[in-house]
Amino acid sequence: MSVEHTSKRYHLHISGIVQGVGFRPYIYQLAQRYKLHGFVRNDGDGVHIEIEADEVKLEDFFDALEKELPPLARVDSIQKQVIPLSGSLGFRIVDSKNSSHTTMLPADVALCSACEAEMNDPENRRYKYPFINCTDCGPRYSIIQTLPYDRPNTTMAPFVMCPTCQKEYDDPMNRRYHAQPISCYECGPSLLMLDLKGNHVAEGDEAIAKISQLIKDGKSVAIKGVGGFHIVCDATNEAAVNTLRLNKRRVSKPLAVLFKDLSVLKKELLVSEVESTLLTSIQRPIVLLKKTIQMTLAPSVAPGIDKVGAFLAYTPLHQLLLEKLQRPIVATSANMSDTPILTDAKEVLAKLSHLVYAVLDYDRKIEHACDDSVKMLANNHLLSMRVARGYAPLSFSLKKRVKQAILAVGANQKNTIALAFDKHMVVSPHIGDLVGIEAVDNFKQTIADYQQFYDIKPKVIVCDKHPGYESHKWAKALSSAGSNIELIELQHHYAHTLSCMAEYELDEKVLAFCFDGTGYGDDGTLWGGEVLLADSQNYQRLHHLQTFRLIGGEKAVKEPKRVALAILFELYTIEEIMMMDNPACLAFDEAQIRTMHKMYEREINAPLSSSIGRLFDAVASLSGIVQTLSYEGESGLMLEQQANRHRDESYYPFALEGEVISFKSLIAEILQEKDPKLIAARFMNTLTRMIIEIAQRYPEFPVILSGGVFQNQYLLERVISALNTHEIRYYIPSVTAINDGGIALGQLYYALHKKKEKNE
């Protein structure tokens, strides 16, 4: 049979993460390998390919397409259609078209080994070049202005390629083919050191050398990363770290430490094989690691706790700087509390000049701010605490097309937004706490950016039920403005449950343990210790922690002693409390206790709560570990450190009284105990035992663990071990944030299933 009789021509439409990841040259090289004719092009909705050849060669191509992919690519779907033969010869990469915008945004990723080798090669033309990159590494999301992802649509557009870079960019067989940020010394961004008046005082390698010297001298400086500026100082210099803390008004919240490579990091921190793999991955997240006894980092890097957030240099600039320094550096987001990370040197000089002595800047604009991602391992389960650089935007494919675009606006803390459109779900990187005008403006701008990216106007908006959340207020205002938008308000802990269900594509009833600091309940009280029986459309509150009052409202969140006192008011008379020799009681004088008792009795600024997160605060106070907090989650970290020093396996008594999980016996025994290490260990063992006992009452349902309390490594490891021992099926968020960063995805999942039910 002749070749003509066996030849076919196909049109392929491939969606997923297929732009900015070397996908077109990969297809081109496959086409050359199998002698195919046709073309490949980017489009707003993915990659389109036409290929023509005999059936044997085409089958080989399809087989390779299934088994081989560029390292950063992800294929969600391939639509294949036979079309008429064209008779065209050769294979081309053609210019992009702008149609519907449904391709997935690629994340920024770390410097690859090939580029690192070139950067360290004195014979290479990019030797020590601080912006070296290729199709396998470098900035993406942070520089994209619109889709499709081509150089004119990025902040690299002003930099005209030199002839040598242009040749690499145009060569489909080159590693830098259509690497949009491609540049070199001749045509790329400039590295500049600025003084506090904004004057250029050094460039290039000289700028790195001078910034390096300032750090060695104990000074703090601002350095531009991929998604924003970091405030940096010598992580081994106690005075420098303390000065940074003082100037940033960050009393004791842990600071992240950036290391040159894994060998340096391992001298300071305990690192497992799995953690090593995570640290050296293309995402390069911050990973929470245990301190070693011989650690030489400044104690004030992470005071009062036994772990440090560490990560490895992920840009060529960071590597060049750390090579000169030969020491790790603190690298904390350039912002003040409750404000977004800064991306512009002028803003840094205007707002943070009291923090730094100089600024290391470059003239490639950051279009989208993106903080560092934070991960942790518990029994080798990967936990996401902040999903941002390297991982986000997160995208998920849907089996059925969405008829109306849906926007979920998340929670108030650790806010993210999420969109559903076409056959995709997309979750934004971490936006932050919606506290203050700048943070809310950033939230609104992110929504506008994502609507522009994908050219959509949502017809359904999902928000948290809490009327005080800024995300709720924004959604409510928009739906009330006559915009013909359907508004769905969803309970906070149910959204936590659904977030995990979305990640694992669960469509069954689950038993969800949602433990966190706070969430607006259906009864108007503040929930946070909830056991829900849920599916994709409904939930039932099976059990909840015994309620207590938060005396002083928001003030109680920052003062565990108030929570402890309120819990004592629930269980004892004021006369009994006055006689107690307990750290929580001793933190007040008699008049203060009586005043708070009146507030408690009269319910003055004392909302009801069932929060496990606040119970952590109370136990930390009763055990004398901490009475006031300087950052969220501090009591949990301090309890964890104490528990790690004891590792006791016993637990306190508790009672399930109908729906209520009573803490009366637990508190009574804590009051008799003097050793904070034993209290911490037994308390978290008690929570573990509580989860197992409840799970065993409902053996037909898989367990879900979600909410910020499960960021506690000691607790989570014990719960995972116990679930495994009792052979209980369970799911824990991994790709998505286990804290409020996952709320938007849960909201989206609910709306998708609600629409599905309506359509059916």
Reported as type and span, the H/E element at residue 546 is none
Statement: the pTM of the whole predicted model exceeds 0.85: yes
> Can you give the pLDDT at residue 756?
64
Residue 733 forms part of a structural domain: no
Question: Which carries the bigger pLDDT value, residue 403 or residue 102?
Answer: 403
Q: Are residues 333 and 415 in the same domain?
A: no
Got the DSSP string for 232-278? EEETT-HHHHHHHHHHHT-SS----EEESSHHHHTTTEE--HHHHHH
| Residue 734 to residues 307, 382, 428, Cα–Cα distance (Å) | 20, 5, 16
Residue 4 has pLDDT above 60, yes or no: no
pLDDT above 80: residue 301 = yes
Lookup: tokens for 342: 């800064």
| Same domain flag for 697 and 591 | yes
Q: Is the pLDDT of residue 759 over 70?
A: no
Is residue 119 a part of any domain in this protein?
no
Dihedral sign, CA of 388, 393, 397, 401?
A: positive
Task: Tell whether the model's pLDDT for residue 388 goes beyond 80.
Answer: yes
Q: In the predicted model, is pLDDT for residue 500 greater than 90?
A: yes
- Residue 2 above 50 pLDDT? no
103 pLDDT exceeds 70? Answer: no
Q: 355 and 436: one domain? A: no
Predicted pLDDT at 78: 87
Q: Among 47, 69, 93, which residue terminates a domain?
A: 93
Weakest-pLDDT range from 66-70, 377-381, 573-577: 66-70
What mean pLDDT is predicted for residues 735-759?
89
Same domain as 669, residue 531 = yes
pLDDT above 90 for 66: no
Residue 44 confidence (pLDDT) above 80: no
The stretch 672-688 carries a mean pLDDT of: 96
Amino acid at 336: M
99 has pLDDT over 60:
no
Is residue 100 in some structural domain?
no
Residues 208 and 345 in one domain: yes
Secondary structure element (H or E) that encloses residue 190, with its range: none
**442 and 589: one domain?**
no
CATH of the domain at 677: 3.30.420.40
- pLDDT for the residue numbered 308: 97
Say which CATH number the domain at 70 has: 3.30.70.100
How many whole angstroms from its chain centre is CA 385?
Answer: 6
pLDDT tens, 345-373? 999 999 999 999 999 999 999 999 999 99
**Model pLDDT, residue 372:** 97
> Are residues 308 and 424 both part of a single domain?
no
Q: Which residues pair with 487 in a beta bridge?
A: 461
Write a three-state SS string for 100-159.
CCCCCCCCCECCCHHHHHHHCCCCCCCCCCCCCCECCEECCHHHECCCCCCHHHECCCCC
CATH code, domain with 399? 3.30.420.360
Local structure of residue 299 (DSSP, 8 states): G
Across residues 391-401, what is the average pLDDT? Answer: 89
pLDDT at 714 over 50: yes
Residue range 713-738: mean pLDDT, rounded: 97
Domain annotation covers residue 673: yes
Over residues 587-595, mean pLDDT: 94
Instruction: Say if residues 211 and 315 touch (Cβ distance below 8 Å).
Output: no
Q: Which among 346, 362, 378 is the end of a domain? A: 362
What is the number of domains present in the chain? 4
pLDDT value, residue 1:
35
pLDDT at position 15 is: 83
- pLDDT tens readout for residues 668-678: 999 999 999 99
Of 41, 60, 93, the residue that ends a domain is 93
Would you say residue 647 lies in a domain?
A: yes
Mean of the pLDDT values across residues 204-233? 97
Residues 493 and 530 in one domain: no
167 within domain boundaries: no
In the structure, what pLDDT confidence band is assigned to residue 89 with cuts at 50, 70 and 90?
Answer: confident
Q: Stretch 392-408: mean pLDDT, rounded? A: 90
Q: Which residues form the domain of 481?
A: 394-507+740-759
Given this model, what pLDDT does residue 709 score?
Answer: 97
Number of H helices, E strands in the chain: 25, 30
Q: Is residue 174 part of a domain?
A: no
The per-residue pLDDT for 3 is 41
Q: What's the whole-number average pLDDT of the chain?
A: 93
592 and 489 in a single domain? The answer is no
Q: For 150-164, what is each residue's pLDDT tens digit?
A: 899 999 999 999 999
> Does residue 442 surpass a pLDDT of 80?
yes
Q: Find the mean pLDDT for residues 451-457.
A: 90
Rounded to an integer, the average pLDDT of 525-552 is 97
Q: For residue 419, is it within any domain?
A: yes
**Residues 254-265: pLDDT tens digits?**
999 999 999 999
Query: Which pLDDT band holds residue 755 (cuts at 50, 70, 90)?
Result: low
Q: Is the pLDDT of residue 482 over 80?
A: no
687 & 584 share domain: yes
**558 and 697 in one domain?**
yes
Domain identity same for 235 and 293: yes
CATH number at residue 304: 3.90.870.10
